[in-house]
Amino acid sequence: MKLRRWLLVLIMLLLCLPSVVPPVQAKAASISIQLDGVSLSSDVSPYILPKVNVTMVPTRIISEGLGASVAWNQKSRTVTIGKDGSSLQLTSGKNTALVDGSAVSLDASVEIKNGRVMVPLRFISENLGLQVEWNQSAQRISLFTGVELVPPPELSKEGIRGAWISTVFNLDWPKAKSTAQQQQQSFIALLDSLQDVGINAVYVQVRPAGDAIYPSTMVPWSKVLTGIQGNDPGYDPVAFMVEEAHKRKMEFHAWFNPFRANTDLQTASLHPSHVALQHPDWIVNANKQLYINPGIPEARQHIIDTIMEVVNGYDIDGVHLDDYFYPSNTVFHDEAAYREYNNGEYSDVGEWRRGNINDFVQSLGESIHQEKPDVEYGISPFGVWRNKSVDKTGSDTKAGVTAYDSMYADVRAWIQNGWIDYVAPQIYWSMSNPAVDYDKLVDWWVGEVQGTGVDLLIGHAPYKLGTNEIGWQSASEIINQLKYNQNYDEVKGSIFFRAENILKNPLGFKDQLQSYYR
């Protein structure tokens, strides 16, 4: 049985593949091939016979991948592959192969190219023990031996391996204000590339600046799609992206910037339906940007309504908020709102601001779970809650900005009250930073979620790789961080900021991450 099973697998590898790999142009990129996840290299790449649409591969790389012997008889122009006493013979110019003396039909004959024996590879039924995957964007054939292809582990087992996809300023997607078809093709290529690295969840910025990359009845179309805010791109990007992510068994999380109204102070180019024009009394100018004032209850509810529009309208896996609450290191003129809405409940403006954010976080979570209990609701706050020097229960760090004191985000309250399903602190420092140490922060956040039922994800900073900041001169920094996370069952995964900073392979990070996840 073992011999016959090996023989069947070998036949599968050496027969042709007329339908799995689509035709390519003569000048297309070289096709690579993998066997059970291991790259098989050769000086002659696989290619496709255009008229019969058969993929040809070098005999040597396949046979060596299986541990078989290969012999070439120049006189008879026959290649003989042997393993465990069995043999397979293929002769140039013949459309049959001999398997232990029995003839097997081929769809194309053996070819000699640049001194290499090229044989046809074809896909046959799964019950013979082989699966073939074709990655169009990567131009790669992946072969898997065994009775059936083992599906990717469930996310609950392997954890979240996420990537933030920024749309603001056209950072990650869409890279250019192009046609609907071009944007769709670009997103497909982006997903394929991320999945190839090992990413299983994407956090896509659907509300970059008081606008939307989906058709909304409350806010205008984002300018990142067409260059002009309010212009219809001709399709529904979120519907398209959710479908493409789920085709690949990847999670899709809708990422919102809740309180950022615009990335600058200009209003002339805003669509008339934009919140800054519809409700100028809600807007605060701070740090050269426009913010929606969290202190106004109607403004908070407006943001919740826009988020719920996505929750109710799409099959998303989660709602994700970043750290854009109150802006840090700037003056925020909300004195009038404090006088009008405090009602004596809070003794100072700081406590009042934290109360506003708490109300927002709690109300949004209740709205989400009331409509769709299975949708994950999480927030990615600044990585330091409070320094120990200010609060003895804070982390042993010396950060110049903290979530609690600078952004008025009391993450501890969100966790302890169970208002969120997960927290993903942006721990964007290295393991050798004496002022803000990655290890110490992970330890601290683990302690915060223990026993609460709130999951902990870690936000990582590949965008810092290659910078002069301490500890970021090697891609192994993040790999070591991932290894450190394994010390804790509470850490359920990681999210990387951002997609481009993975795929550009800074200091070889993409390659190392791919290897680590495999």
Provide the b/e sequence for 414-453 (b: ≥16 CB within 10 Å).
Answer: bbeeebbbbbbbbbbbbbebeebbbbbbbebbbebbeebe
| pLDDT value at residue 65 | 61
Quick one: tokens of 281?
A: 């009394």
Measure the CA–CA gap between 64 and 70, rounded to whole angstroms.
8
pLDDT in tens, the chain (518 residues): 444 555 444 555 544 444 444 444 444 567 777 776 666 766 777 877 776 667 777 776 656 666 667 777 777 788 787 766 667 777 877 877 887 778 777 767 778 777 777 777 763 333 334 456 655 556 667 666 653 333 444 565 579 999 999 999 999 999 977 899 999 999 999 999 999 999 999 999 999 999 999 999 999 999 999 999 999 999 999 999 999 999 999 999 999 999 999 999 999 999 999 999 999 999 999 999 999 999 999 999 999 999 999 999 999 999 999 999 999 999 999 999 999 999 889 999 999 999 999 999 999 999 999 999 999 999 999 999 999 999 999 999 999 999 999 999 999 999 999 999 999 999 999 999 999 999 999 999 999 999 999 999 999 999 999 999 999 999 999 999 999 999 999 999 999 999 999 999 999 999 999 999 98
Quick one: tokens of 285?
A: 């100018």
| pLDDT value at residue 48 | 79
Measure the CA–CA gap between 73 and 121, rounded to whole angstroms.
21
Q: Taking a C-beta distance cutoff of 8 angstroms, is the pair 457, 423 a contact?
A: yes
Q: Where are the alpha helices (DSSP H) in 139-292?
A: 155-158, 180-197, 223-226, 237-247, 275-278
Measure the CA–CA gap between 464 and 467, rounded to whole angstroms.
6
Instruction: Output helix, strand, coil percentages for the chain, rounded to the nearest 5.
Output: 35, 25, 45
Q: Taking a C-beta distance cutoff of 8 angstroms, is the pair 20, 40 a contact?
A: no
* Third-level CATH fold of 160-517: TIM Barrel (3.20.20)
Three-state SS at 321 = strand
Q: Which amino acid is at 296?
A: I
Q: What is the CA radius of gyration of the chain?
A: 28
Task: Return contacts of 216-222, CB within 8 angstroms, 24+ apart.
Answer: 216/306, 216/309, 217/309, 218/273, 218/302, 218/305, 218/306, 218/309, 219/273, 219/274, 219/275, 219/306, 220/270, 220/271, 220/273, 220/274, 221/271, 222/167
Measure the CA–CA gap between 144 and 129, rounded to whole angstroms.
8
Rounded to whole angstroms, what are the CA distances from 446 to 31, 82, 234, 410, 430? 45, 55, 45, 16, 18
CATH of domain 32-145: 3.30.457.10
Q: What are phi and psi of 372, to 5 degrees?
A: -140, 90
Measure the CA–CA gap between 320 and 424, rounded to whole angstroms.
10
Residue bearing tokens 């949004």: 364
Q: Taking a C-beta distance cutoff of 8 angstroms, is the pair 4, 117 a contact?
A: no
**Which sequence spans correspond to the domains of the chain?**
32-145, 160-517
Q: Are 32-145 and 160-517 equal in CATH topology?
A: no
Q: Say how many Å lie between the first and final Cα of the chain, rounded.
A: 30
Measure the CA–CA gap between 330 and 47, rounded to whole angstroms.
59
